[in-house]
Chain A
Amino acid sequence: MIEISKYKTEIDGALLSHGIDKNDIILFACSDLDREQMRCDSCLLLTEKKLFVLEGVTSVSGKPGKNVKKSFHESGFAEFELSGLSDLSIDELVSSAMLTAKYNGKPALIAFMTKTAQKDIGLFVKYASKQLKGEPLTVDEEDFRDDRFCPKCGRRYPDEDRKICPHCMEKSKLYKRFFEFSKSYKKQMITVLGCLAALSALGVVSPYVSTSFFYDKVLGEQSAWYGKLLSVLLLVILLRVASAAVNSVSGIISARVSGMVTYDLKKTIFSSIQRLSLSFFTARQTGGLMNQINNDSNTIYWFFCVGVPQFLKNAVQMIAVFIIMFIMNPLLAACSLVIIPLFTFIIYRIYRRMITLHSITYASSRAMSSALSDNLSGFRVVKAFSREKAETERFNKTSARLAKDSRNVTMYSNTSFPFASFLLYLSTAVIWLIGGVMVMTGRGGMTYGTLMAFLAYVSMMNEPIDMFVDMIYWFSDCTNSAQRLFEIADAEPDVREKENAVTLGEIKGHVRFENVEFSYIKGKKVIDGISFDVEAGRCLGIVGHSGAGKSTIANLLMRLYDPDAGRIMIDGVDIRDLSFDELRHNVGIVSQETYLFVGTIADNIRYARPDATLEDVVNAAKIAGAHDFIVKLPDGYDTKIGFGYKDLSGGERQRVSIARAILLDPKILILDEATAAMDTQTERRIQEALTLLSEGRTTIMIAHRLSTLRDADSLIVIENGKMPESGSHDELIRKKGIYYNLYKLQLEALKNIGVEE
């Protein structure tokens, strides 16, 4: 039996009652919805003759690990003779799917499933269909490699391609990783730590000199220091100056180090982003992402520049103060500690709520900046449809939400923190009371000076606790930020370069698609079983309505995405085996999206080959038909374009990007609606130049204007991700199918506007 899902022994009894011999089962899979789409165990069983569907609920009794007893309570049963069954397929529903077939010529519903079970049922369909066709049931190992779950906790990996279980990942590793960034600044870090230790020591000595020592020794007649007022004053001033100097030194160094560390971090994040696949960006709004990186790095900078040094200084100081307090008077020290457990509990509650409130505020801030960048990027459209008022309202809405959320944070912190601080002051009052009695009764050797020193130490202890409260919020913010940044740094590109990638040396340019399937969103196939073959040096035209999936073919050949099934080969090698360098130096694309970077026109043409000579640049521009308009510009090829500079028209941009692709001199050239924004005459001129250029190189032309494709050696028609027609122009015309209709329509349209082909 091929077990697609693990066989459930508890159904043995139910099988017997239906007269099914377990040994006859050749294929088993489990779905998770019944015919009413309610959650249940729905078992699909295939024998040589029949398909059975057994529905029911499994109940478990006994203690986990011991005497576990599972029993199956049947709730539904159906059977289908294989002789009458055909066309097994899965129909996608919004949040589930259904397995249907033709049974005795009529549509039949076999089972429902959630999208989670769809993978298993998909495999069931694959193997059951083989059985229906009478093909042998050979197992493809790749189908049964289920590593979707974390071996440690059994939870599902959020990202199947990224075998990291967030649940089992240790948080301490996050900080370890962060500190790895500061490794190269070891010396500076040690200096800062030294400064902090000195600061703590000076901080601890100061109250002793200005209280206990001053009252009991300088003003105490029996002491050797009696009356040396000036020297002690000098000592106090000296301590203050030393403390300020050390503080400045540590401040300067830590600012420098944290600046460098965040710079390194940003560098890492940026290079990680460059590594990522296109799908990462299509899934996120760019405005939100930019805001995320910037804000998060800033939060981390301030936390490490100001927060961490403060924290370390205060922590060391606090421990020292504790020790001194215990030496001075253990009873009073104990009294001042009584409040700590209650305080910790309250802080813990505040901490949890603060994290939530801050995350809410962060989300609102992200929403607001997304709305802002959305509006500014689409400003032309806003103006054109005179939607300024509505846009202002939309922005106001997000802005008001941010204001409300920020207010909530402030209100909460303004009410909860003073309450927590009040508790601490209560402990001071207790010290006043007990210490006062001790001084008056002279018990425990308590003098007025010691009590003053003690109170100074208690307030020194309270001070950092206030700061620790602040630190909690700071720390949670920083953890959130680090988490988000590392999420980007760790994001695995969907499209990865293979280790030991193959180098072909000289690429000839033979392109082959074999049963390629692809979907941007799971379950929605954009490319469905497409196969074609373009010999080296030939030109293939791809025809189809917009949205048919033509550009996706180009994206797949460029390996911006990987196919879900099937393979794409160049010179007989799967492109997944080729290095990115090899692939992208040999495949050039001019797409509908003609993004030009800030820089000169020459820089943009040279983008893919920075070492190209000026003559090459001019020649490429001439072929692309860009030269004529460029020389008319006052700054020629040195004209600055891009954000804030000269704005080129759509057609001009396209010509510059064609020149860019031509300069790369790729063996395989993809022209994806490359000339769509041009008038017919310009297009024809460029087309002629490109035809000359395409000699000796494989060209894939995508266009919905059929005249563009008339020189193609062969054509394929794409419709709804499928390839219903292929052949030469004449063959397709003779066929009188989709291509013929499209051709006829366009010809008539052109005649109507007075353009003869």
Chain B
Amino acid sequence: MNNGTALKDVVVTEYINDKNAVFSEHDGMLSMKLISSDGDKDYDRVFLHRCFPHELEDGYISVLDREQNEICMIRSLSDFSDDVRKMLERELKRRYRVSVVKRIKSVNERYGYSYWKIEDENGACEFTVRDTYRSITKISSDRIYITDVDGNRYEIPSLEALDRKSFRKIELFL
């Protein structure tokens, strides 16, 4: 920027912490009271979206209202007390829940589609993938997720930790 203006001086983002935001949970859903000198504002339902779901899980979390408009941001979960942090973590866990692949039993590829039989934390599971190469997203060289025809995600947190037989079945698509 000219005249040494920093980006943060140009963009107005309200970062919240224990002092200016009060979260509450009802039946597993978050509500928020935003405290400000202009008057407090209540949001009966707020949603948390990570800005960097893979790079940084605990920071830069956008707080959205029912219409999915951003209200404010959380710079770091550590800006909140333990109780609130746990509440926020529960909400995040729910939003970002994916099946974690423990073992790949078989992958049958036919004409650009593949049929997968895997084992995840819930036991045996089957799904279908369209355009296999493109449905596998590499988060890092070791971590990937597979998206099936319906949009469900199946994550392999570490390819290296995968047993050899399972790896052999997937290496073709990496």
A residues in contact (CB < 8 Å) with B: 35, 37-39, 91, 93-96, 98, 100, 103, 106-109, 114-116, 118, 155-156, 158-159, 164, 166-167, 169, 283-284, 356, 359-360, 363, 366, 483-484, 486-487, 490, 521-523, 720
The answer, yes or no, to whether B131 is at the interface (CB within 8 Å) is yes
| Given known A-B contacts A95-B98, A359-B172, A487 and B112 have beta carbons under 8 A apart | yes
B45 touches A116 (CB 8 A): no
The CB with the most chain B CB atoms within 10 A, among A94, A103, A159, A484, is that of: A94
- In the bound complex, CA of A399 to CA of B97 (Å): 35
| Given known A-B contacts A39-B122, A720-B68, A93 and B95 have beta carbons under 8 A apart | yes
- In the bound complex, CA of A169 to CA of B115 (Å): 14
A118 touches B128 (CB 8 A): no
B122 touches A38 (CB 8 A): yes
Distance in Å: Cβ of B157 to nearest Cβ of chain A:
14
- In the bound complex, CA of A483 to CA of B112 (Å): 8
Return chain B residues, CB-CB under 8 Å to A523.
151
Other-chain contact of A95, B125, B153, B171, B174 (Cβ < 8 Å): B153
In the complex, which residue of chain B has the Cβ closest to the Cβ of A119? B150
- In the bound complex, CA of A38 to CA of B28 (Å): 16
| Given known A-B contacts A155-B128, A156-B128, A284-B134, A95 and B111 have beta carbons under 8 A apart | no
Top 4 closest A-B pairs, CB basis? A166-B110, A158-B113, A95-B153, A39-B122
Return chain A residues, CB-CB under 8 Å to B68.
720
B125 touches A39 (CB 8 A): yes
B128 touches A158 (CB 8 A): yes
Other-chain contact of A158, B47, B53, B130 (Cβ < 8 Å): B130
B110 touches A169 (CB 8 A): yes
**Band of interface residues on B:** 35 or more
| Given known A-B contacts A356-B172, A360-B171, A95 and B149 have beta carbons under 8 A apart | no
- In the bound complex, CA of A190 to CA of B103 (Å): 52
B97 touches A37 (CB 8 A): yes
| Given known A-B contacts A94-B95, A356-B172, A360-B171, A39 and B152 have beta carbons under 8 A apart | no
| Given known A-B contacts A107-B29, A356-B171, A720-B67, A93 and B97 have beta carbons under 8 A apart | yes
The answer, yes or no, to whether B108 is at the interface (CB within 8 Å) is yes
A106 touches B151 (CB 8 A): no
The answer, yes or no, to whether B17 is at the interface (CB within 8 Å) is no
| Given known A-B contacts A95-B97, A158-B130, A720-B67, A363 and B27 have beta carbons under 8 A apart | no
The CB with the most chain B CB atoms within 10 A, among A108, A156, A164, A521, is that of: A156
- In the bound complex, CA of A523 to CA of B128 (Å): 18
Return chain A residues, CB-CB under 8 Å to B171.
356, 360
- In the bound complex, CA of A723 to CA of B68 (Å): 15
- In the bound complex, CA of A106 to CA of B96 (Å): 24
Known A107-B29, A158-B130; 15 more pairs at CB < 8 Å: A39-B122, A95-B98, A106-B26, A107-B44, A115-B152, A116-B127, A118-B150, A156-B149, A167-B110, A356-B172, A360-B172, A360-B174, A487-B112, A490-B111, A720-B67
Distance in Å: Cβ of A172 to nearest Cβ of chain B:
14
B111 touches A486 (CB 8 A): yes
User: For residues 1 through 30 of chain B, which have their beta carbon under 8 Å from a beta carbon of chain A?
Assistant: 26-29
B115 touches A167 (CB 8 A): yes
Return chain A residues, CB-CB under 8 Å to B99.
95
Return chain B residues, CB-CB under 8 Å to A167.
108, 110, 115
Distance in Å: Cβ of A467 to nearest Cβ of chain B:
26
The CB with the most chain B CB atoms within 10 A, among A95, A166, A521, is that of: A95
Return chain B residues, CB-CB under 8 Å to A363.
133, 172-174
